[in-house]
Amino acid sequence: MMLNTEILLTIKLQEQLFVDPKRIRLLKEIQKCGSINQAAKNAKVSYKSAWDHLAAMNEISPRPLLERNVGGKNGGGTELTIYAQRLLQLYDLLEQTQEKAFHILQDESLPLDSVLHATARFSLQSSARNQFFGEIVNLRHQNIHCFVDIQIKGFPSLLTVSITEKSAVRLKLVLGKEVMMMIKAPWVKVHREHPTDNVINVFPVTAQKITDKGNVEEVILNLNHNDTEETVEFCATLNKSENIKQQEKIWISIDPEQVILATLY
């Protein structure tokens, strides 16, 4: 069911009202016509009320919001500063985010105790078919590499991701931090026997669904883990020559360097 929602955003600075929908509309009208007098008429407020709003905003704003143009072809006028223009863009962005955040309330499968999980669901689009969320439990530094061990709900063991030291610093990785992992379907390797040549990130799976995609097959693999009721699925793109059968129990492996890591600052 589509809901007609109205979310009114108010921002305060120094415990005083900075912007609200009425003030944002006034700023947008000034941006359009370059005149406070005309902007007040367009926003359906008196000229005095418009000045009062602008004065109150400027008094607590970290930077000026308006700049006057004297003379010129049209006899001068008022323009928004770069800071005020960015404020309007930020306000629009926050409104969109709030609207999307409210919509995820309808999806009861989405946990609302995870900022990263919720943000990724309503804001992030990725071509990677496999997306998982977990928590960092260990960081191991080796030369220019950082190996990140991640605990993921429903996984029988940790998933290890390899990134550069610079990336680890840029992502501000620390123990306990929530992260998102993205793994493209062709990066999931399939084995009929458990790999023995020091391969890490090896998990037992069952081929649940096989779809013919022309030159390849798209296979949905269910993670075999009896200690949890959590259902974890992988999607793999395989050559037909691998001849995987539905309900066949096999193994998958994931190269630590073929995992994209994302997080919130």
Per-residue model confidence as pLDDT tens digits over 68-87: 876 544 445 899 999 999 99
Provide φ and ψ at 193, rounded to 5°. -120, 155
- Of 177, 186, 146, 179, the residue nearest 163 (C-alpha): 146
Band of pLDDT at residue 129, cut at 50, 70 and 90: confident
List, in order of start, the domains of the chain with CATH numbers.
11-104 (1.10.10.10), 115-183+258-262 (2.40.50.100), 185-254 (2.40.50.100)
The whole-number average pLDDT for the span 110-132 is 67
DSSP 198: S
Mean pLDDT of the chain: 85
According to the model, what pLDDT value does residue 228 have? 52
Within 10 angstroms of residue 30's Cβ, the number of other Cβ atoms is 25
Beta carbons of 226 and 257 less than 8 angstroms apart: no
State percent of the chain over pLDDT 90.
57
| 58-67, 87-96, 104-113, 224-233, range with greatest mean pLDDT | 58-67
Rounded CA-CA distance 177/78 in Å is 47
Band of pLDDT at residue 209, cut at 50, 70 and 90: very high
Rounded CA-CA distance 254/232 in Å is 15
For residue range 25-51, list pLDDT tens digits in order.
999 999 999 999 999 999 999 999 999
According to the model, what pLDDT value does residue 111 have? 65
Is a pLDDT exceeding 60 seen at residue 20?
A: yes
Is a pLDDT exceeding 70 seen at residue 143?
A: yes
Per-residue tokens: 106: 């309808």
Beta carbons of 248 and 257 less than 8 angstroms apart: no
Rounded CA-CA distance 217/244 in Å is 9
Owner of token pair 């009425």 = 22
The whole-number average pLDDT for the span 241-257 is 92
State percent of the chain over pLDDT 70.
82
Q: Where are the beta strands (DSSP E) in 153-248?
A: 159-164, 178-183, 188-191, 202-212, 216-223, 233-239
**Ramachandran area for residue 14 (φ above 0: left; ψ -120 to 50: alpha; else beta):** left
Least reliable range by pLDDT among 129-133, 177-181, 224-228: 224-228
